[in-house]
Structure 1
Amino acid sequence: MIRKPWRQLPSVLYALAIYGFIFLPVVVLVLFSFQDGRFPIPPLKGLSLRWYEAVWNDGRLMEALANSIAVAVGSSLTAVLLGFLSAYGLARFKLPAKGLQRALLTAPLTVSYLIIGMGLLITFNAVGIPKSLVAAGIGHVVINMPLCFAIIYSQMGDHQANIERAARDLGAREWQVITLVTAPMLWPALFASFFLSMTFSWDEFIISFLLTRFDVTLPVEIWSLLRSGLNPKTNAVGSVVFGISVVLVIVLELVVFRKGRRS
């Protein structure tokens, strides 16, 4: 049967339109971050790294960058730990209303970040917790832990339970079963949960905006810059955020998914 390439033309054009719609704004952002002029408007006038140098030399941006990394790493580790323990408890023990508990744990995935942020803000004000990076980190745990739980719980099968049972028969204590048997078997799911949480926490804005005051994360600092109008400096720092997100996704693909497929 002879294939007619023109029949695939609509599919190719549709795919190009979809990818163009998704990535064209990012391409424009990155391209004009290298513009030598002060205004990020076409036509492109020369190429320069001056705006990346300006970002590097900006103390507030560098502090916000460090804050974002600290919040993302801390909240992701906490979300993975809580998600793993919750998944282990619901998968390995007979608990009352197990289905309801699973639904409650995953419910935040269906709630707007704005609603979650406002609820946390009211709660923290009521108990006397001030706006801070710690409060923002707690908020990131709230939105990322349900995702970690869903990923890890989906990978806990009966074959792993049999191996855990064999470890107990050989004299292993419960904490040894969890740390030396269960966690190593689930490491692809644990790493996937961690990197996805890092990605979501890294560029999360709404909860960080509501729960921080003086020490802010990078997305909140970018929003402050945008209030004075667009300039190549904001494009540069936005490109940095996008670049780090891409690196996290690539690491997730190379370290977790490919090894998971090989095994």
Structure 2
Amino acid sequence: MRGTLLPLLRSLPVWLYVLALYGFIFLPVGVLVLFSFQDSRIPVPPFNGPSLRWYEAVFSDARLLDALTNSILVAALSSLIAVVLGFLAAYALARHRLPFAGLLQGFLTAPLTVSYLIIAMGLLITFNALGVPKSLFTIGIGHVVINLPLCFAILYSQMGAHQATIERAARDLGAQEWQVITLITVPMLWPALFASFFLSVTFSWDEFIIAFMVSRFDVTLPVEIWSMLRSGLNPKTNAVGSFVFLISIATVLVLDLVVFRSRKS
């Protein structure tokens, strides 16, 4: 009995720390989700519910649905472009000897070290100087800028020497360069490609600063949520926030199930 209790007592501080850590992280989210089912108009205790009235209000709000559509469109297209550009850049630097390759890598990964606010201000100044109007197009460009370095870093790290050997073998057997890329390189890198895409979608989905500064009338969901919060908290904003959190969690789960577990197997 004593031999059983001693390991449990030793691990108790670790478990308490883990519970406190996860409680600190997820307690605000849990409160947000809980009061999204509040029946009254004020999201404060005591809890009155459960009720789906605020979710019904969200899905009957044309502005929110338009913002949701915009977010999905921008996240999907900007992530796809970022993955394609990141793959091409990684392939060029990993498979060819380019002048100033180290400098090029530094330029490609530099946005990872820069605040989104600085990037947004630079994009805003650039768009104004070029006469490009604020729109979903400019939001998409901004999201490509912040997601491209991530995609490049992931894909470049996965382009190993064993893949280069297989690619050379394919060329020796008569494959054209486009065949090597589409039939050899891309299938070998598909877990990294999917990981890059889903991570980019996650970051683009709830990005606010760039979307706020380079948009005007067509806004994404985080910007629409911010405009709702200016009038005060209510269960409707909780419902929208819970939906955004659900989409982010679903994306991470899909990434884990499709990519990471397949790589482990």
Q: For this structure pair, what is the TM-score category when the shorter chain's length is used for normalisation?
A: over 0.9
The match for 2:182 is: 179
Which residue does the alignment assign to 1:224? 227
Alpha-carbon distance in structure 2 between the residues aligned to 1:87 and 1:218: 32
Q: Which residue does 2:116 correspond to in 1?
A: 113
Q: Distance in 2 between matches of 1:104 and 1:232?
A: 44
- Structure 1 spans left out of the alignment, 5+ residues: none
Q: Secondary structure, in 3 states, of the residue corresponding to 2:37?
A: coil
1:2 maps to a residue whose letter is G
For residues 90-131 of structure 1, what are the alpha-carbon distances to aligned partners after superposition, in whole Å with 9 as ceiling and x for unaligned?
Answer: 000001111111111111001000000000000010011110
User: How far, CA to CA, are the matches of 2:121 and 2:95 in structure 1?
Assistant: 35
Note the 1:1-263 alignment, pairs <5 A. Answer: 2=3, 4=6, 5-262=8-265
Question: What CA distance in whole angstroms lies between the structure 1 residues aligned with 2:167 and 2:38?
Answer: 58
Q: Distance in 1 between matches of 2:236 and 2:161?
A: 53
Task: Tell me the distance in 1 between the aligned counterparts of 2:49 and 2:99.
Answer: 66
Q: Root-mean-square deviation (CA), in Å?
A: 0.9
User: Equivalents in 1 of 2:64, 2:174: separation in Å?
Assistant: 53
Note the C-alpha offset of 1:2.
3.1
Deviations 1:20-59 (A, max 9, x none): 1100000000000001000000110121000000000000
Cα distance in 1, alignment partners of residues 219 and 157 from structure 2: 35
Over 6 Å off, 4+ runs: none
Structure 1 residue 170 displacement after superposition: 1.4
User: How does the TM-score come out when normalised to structure 1?
Assistant: 0.98
Whole-angstrom CA distance in 1 between matches of 2:179 and 2:131: 38
In the alignment, residue 83 of structure 1 is paired with which amino acid?
Answer: G
SS at match of 2:148: helix
Q: CA deviation at 1:235?
A: 0.2
Residues 58-93 of structure 1: per-residue CA shift (max 9 Å, x gap)? 000000000000000000000000000000000000
Alpha-carbon distance in 2 for matches of 1:43, 1:164: 64
Specify the SS of the correspondent of 1:216.
coil
Distance 1:189 1:2 in 2: 46
Structure-2 separation of matches of 1:189 and 1:39:
45
Cα deviation code 1:195-234 (max 9, x no counterpart): 0000000000000000110000000000000000000000
Q: What is the number of residues matched between the two proteins?
A: 262
Letter in 2 for 1:19: Y
Q: What letter is aligned with 1:30?
A: V
What is the CA–CA distance in structure 2 between the aligned matches of 1:2 and 1:142, rounded to whole Å?
A: 57
Structure 2: state its 5+ residue gaps: none
Distance in structure 1 (CA, Å) of the matches to 2:108 and 2:232: 41
